[in-house]
């Protein structure tokens, strides 16, 4: 029943974009986010879009995959678009009805915001599509390391994130199994009104939580019996090393973004 | 309540490059009162088959008929199916969720539309069947019980629906030898009372002792189908797909390979013992 859910967007590949250091990719993605907000002209957006398309092509990601990543947020994009058109009061008014106005400035603003949202999604998707969740958490942990100075539990956060991600497919499988078992006992999960539906979830949720807690206990025990004791003195299987390509990528992207932000 | 499937096909991950055909044109009929053991190595499609038979998955093509009615037809009453056909999954103890054992076991019967009095009666009978004293166990929380007890309660939850066909997916995995023995006895008792049993199991000894028919599956197809004696007779055929027979059958085959005059239809321990005793009485060993 739940087999068709795809979790995480990672799209395995072996391109120059995939091979980049995750830290660089996170930094560049952040840079892009800033650029998307700073750029205020159509030309600037076009330049950013061209840059993103170039990266998409380099990473050999199909256009369908990118469009699919936009789809979940399509509603929000359309919603803000319509809201901006109707409620932004500009100078050149085309149509007015009560407090609803359609003006030239309103349309411009709406288009700008829509483009901005799409570019934001594409920029973040570029990161998640080409970086595996494990690499992402490794990169995050490495980037956030300075925060350890102020006692922020960086390693623990990263470990929690990777464990959570590791167990999503397991939980999905378990949900599927319990759903089937309860369905066989006559439980229904998709009928009735909202309240009834919520009540119908109890036979699914209780065993799911019981199982999850039990699993957490067992995992903790397994980790401890393999001498896991947090960050201190822990070595890594995959140590992140900056390569020349990584530095170049960062420099190039930084230059491009700054160029766009300043001149366009 | 015969159960029959015709030309059943099923795929996983349809529409992706990872698509696998889990079942290929499976057709078979299980008659009333049979005790069918389904064997096959992991991934051969046996779990998929029983889930399709129980109406928990929809076939890509083919039909599943329970008592002459197509269970995937649009007008079919699913509640009727749930009452007719009970399913015990692997590790059924994970399906417990209610505050008390009594309420958990009553969940299925109530969902099937029984009155409270009827459900109560069925709950007591089911709990007794699996070896509990209903009055003692009912007020307890299922989460305070031991693993083996939990499993029994979960099975009682299925039995309380009074199914005419009982499908079991590896029900004895993880039980101790005594628990296994007791469980197989229970299934036998149900079978004797007229319940059709379809049981997936890797425990060939249990199947040799109790099943009336064995279906071996391989790569989504029926590989062998017959009485335990027939299916276990051809050991080489079973080994080819990573299966084996009961220990007694294997032991008999080993003795035969060493020149003993032992027949190929020995599958149970007492049969083996009898055959060896006979040989020693005849002075042949």
pLDDT digits (tens, 9 = 90+) for A51-95: 999 998 888 888 888 888 888 888 889 999 888 888 877 777 787
Q: Tell me the pLDDT band of A100, cut-offs 50, 70 and 90.
A: confident
| Long-range pairs for B238-244: beta carbons < 8 A, 24 or more residues apart | B241/B40, B241/B41, B241/B44, B241/B216, B242/B41, B243/B39, B243/B40, B243/B41, B243/B216, B244/B204
Look up the ipTM and state it.
Answer: 0.85
Contact at CB, B96 and A178, closer than 8 angstroms = no
Residue given tokens 């069925």 in the structure block = B122
Q: How far apart are CA B1 and CA A189, in angstroms?
A: 27
Instruction: Name the DSSP class of B93.
Output: G
Q: How far apart are CA B126 and CA B133, in angstroms?
A: 10
Residues on chain A touching B112 (C-beta within 8 angstroms): 186
CA distance readout (Å), B142 to A126, B44, B145, B147, B180: 48, 34, 6, 10, 21
For A170, the 3-state DSSP assignment is helix
Residue given tokens 């979960």 in the structure block = B154
Q: What is the pLDDT of residue B213?
A: 95
For A129-141, the DSSP string reads HHS-HHHHHHHHH
For A190, the 3-state DSSP assignment is coil
Q: How far is B3 from chain A (nearest CA, A)?
A: 16
Q: What is the pLDDT of residue A178?
A: 92
Q: How far is B113 from chain A (nearest CA, A)?
A: 10
Residue A250, C-beta contacts closer than 8 angstroms, at least 6 positions apart: A24, A27, A28
Residues on chain B touching A187 (C-beta within 8 angstroms): 107, 111
For B104-137, the DSSP string reads HHHHHHHHTT--HHHHHHHHHHHHHHTT--HHHH
Residues on chain A touching B82 (C-beta within 8 angstroms): 184-186
Q: How far is B167 from chain A (nearest CA, A)?
A: 10
Residue A2 pLDDT > 50, yes or no?
Answer: no
Indicate the residue of A185, A188, A207 with minimum beta-carbon distance to B157. Answer: A185
B153 and chain A in contact, CB less than 8 A: no
A64 and chain B in contact, CB less than 8 A: no
In tens, the pLDDT along A191-227 reads 778 888 888 889 999 999 999 999 999 999 999 999 8
Contact at CB, A211 and B94, closer than 8 angstroms = yes
For A65, the 3-state DSSP assignment is helix
Residues on chain B touching A3 (C-beta within 8 angstroms): 12-13
**Nearest in space to A245 (alpha carbons), one of A9, A1, A21:** A21
pLDDT beneath 70, residues of chain B = 1, 15-16, 285
Q: What are the b/e assignments for B225-260, b being 16+ CB within 10 Å?
A: eeebbebbbebeebeebebebbebbbbbbebeeeee
For B162-181, the DSSP string reads --SEEEEESTTTT--HHHHH
In tens, the pLDDT along A5-31 reads 444 567 778 888 888 888 999 999 999
The number of C-beta contacts closer than 8 angstroms across A and B is 55
Instruction: Name the DSSP class of A237.
Output: S
Which residues face B26 on adjacent strands?
Answer: B8
Tell me which chain A residue has its CA closest to the CA of residue B110: A186
Contact at CB, A184 and B86, closer than 8 angstroms = yes
Is pTM beyond 0.80? Reply is: no
Which residues face B61 on adjacent strands?
Answer: B9
Neighbours of B2 (CB within 10 A): 15
Phi then psi for A188, rounded to 5 degrees?
Answer: -120, 135
Tell me which chain B residue has its CA closest to the CA of residue A205: B97
Sign of CA pseudo-dihedral B266, B267, B272, B273: negative
Tell me which chain B residue has its CA closest to the CA of residue A186: B111
In tens, the pLDDT along A149-165 reads 888 888 888 888 888 88
Indicate the residue of A180, A206, A207 with minimum beta-carbon distance to B56. Answer: A180
A172 and chain B in contact, CB less than 8 A: no
A155 and chain B in contact, CB less than 8 A: no
Q: How far is B111 from chain A (nearest CA, A)?
A: 5
Contact at CB, B157 and A206, closer than 8 angstroms = no
Q: What is the pLDDT of residue B12?
A: 87
Residue range A135-151: average pLDDT?
Answer: 87
Q: How far apart are CA A161 and CA A171, in angstroms?
A: 15
Neighbours of B93 (CB within 10 A): 22
Q: How far apart are CA B238 and CA B40, in angstroms?
A: 9
Residues on chain A touching B51 (C-beta within 8 angstroms): 180
B40 and chain A in contact, CB less than 8 A: no
Pairing of strands B85-88, B165-169: parallel
Q: What are the b/e assignments for B130-151, b being 16+ CB within 10 Å?
A: bebebeebbebebeebeebbbb
Contact at CB, A184 and B111, closer than 8 angstroms = no
Q: Tell me the pLDDT band of A240, cut-offs 50, 70 and 90.
A: confident
């Amino acid at each position: 029943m739940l087999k068709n859910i795809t979790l995480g967007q990672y799209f395995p590949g072996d391109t120059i974009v995939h091979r980049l250091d995750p830290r660089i990719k996170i930094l560049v993605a952040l840079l892009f986010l800033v650029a998307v907000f700073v750029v205020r002209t159509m030309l600037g957006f076009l330049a950013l879009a061209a840059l993103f398309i170039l990266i998409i092509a380099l990473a050999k990601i199909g256009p369908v995959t990118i469009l699919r990543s936009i789809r979940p947020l399509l509603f929000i994009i359309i919603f803000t678009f319509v809201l901006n058109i109707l409620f932004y009061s500009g100078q050149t008014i085309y149509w007015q009805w009560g407090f609803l106005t359609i003006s030239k400035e309103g349309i411009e603003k709406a288009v700008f915001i829509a483009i901005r949202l799409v570019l934001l999604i594409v920029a973040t998707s570029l990161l998640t599509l080409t970086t595996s969740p494990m690499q992402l958490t490794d990169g995050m942990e490495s980037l956030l390391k300075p925060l350890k100075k102020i006692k922020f539990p960086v390693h623990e956060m990263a470990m929690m994130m990777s464990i959570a991600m590791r167990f999503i497919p397991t939980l999905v499988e378990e949900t599927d199994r319990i759903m089937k078992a309860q369905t066989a006992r006559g439980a229904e999960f998709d009928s009735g009104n909202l309240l009834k539906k919520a009540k119908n979830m109890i036979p699914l949720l209780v065993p799911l939580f019981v199982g999850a807690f039990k699993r957490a206990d067992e995992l903790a025990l397994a980790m401890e019996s393999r001498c896991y004791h947090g960050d201190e003195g822990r070595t890594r299987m995959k140590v992140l090393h900056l390569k020349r390509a990584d530095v170049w990528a960062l420099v190039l992207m930084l230059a491009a973004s700054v160029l766009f932000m300043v001149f366009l | 309540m015969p159960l029959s499937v015709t030309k059943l096909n099923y795929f996983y991950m349809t529409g992706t490059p990872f698509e696998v055909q889990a079942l290929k044109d499976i057709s078979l009929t299980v008659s009333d009162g049979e005790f069918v053991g389904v064997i096959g190595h992991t991934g051969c499609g046996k779990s998929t088959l029983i889930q399709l038979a129980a109406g928990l998955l929809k076939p890509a093509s083919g039909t599943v008929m329970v008592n002459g009615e197509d269970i995937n037809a649009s007008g079919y009453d699913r509640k009727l199916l749930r009452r007719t056909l009970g399913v015990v999954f692997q590790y059924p103890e994970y399906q417990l969720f209610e505050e008390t054992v009594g309420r958990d076991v009553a969940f299925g019967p109530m969902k099937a539309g029984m009155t409270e009095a009827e459900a109560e009666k069925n709950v007591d009978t089911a709990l007794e069947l699996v070896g509990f004293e209903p009055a003692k166990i009912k007020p307890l929380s299922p989460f305070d019980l031991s693993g083996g007890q939990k499993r029994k309660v979960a099975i009682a939850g299925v039995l309380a629906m009074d199914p005419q066909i009982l499908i079991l997916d590896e029900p004895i995995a993880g039980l101790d030898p005594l628990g296994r023995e007791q469980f197989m006895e229970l299934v036998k008792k149900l079978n004797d009372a007229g319940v059709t049993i379809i049981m997936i199991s890797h425990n060939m000894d249990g199947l040799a002792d109790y099943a009336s028919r064995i279906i071996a599956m391989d790569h989504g197809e029926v590989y062998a189908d017959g009485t335990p004696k027939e299916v276990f007779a051809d050991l080489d055929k079973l080994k080819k797909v990573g299966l084996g027979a009961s220990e007694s059958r294997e032991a008999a085959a080993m003795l035969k390979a060493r020149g003993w005059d032992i027949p190929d239809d020995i599958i149970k321990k007492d049969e083996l013992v009898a055959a060896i005793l006979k040989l020693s009485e005849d002075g042949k060993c």
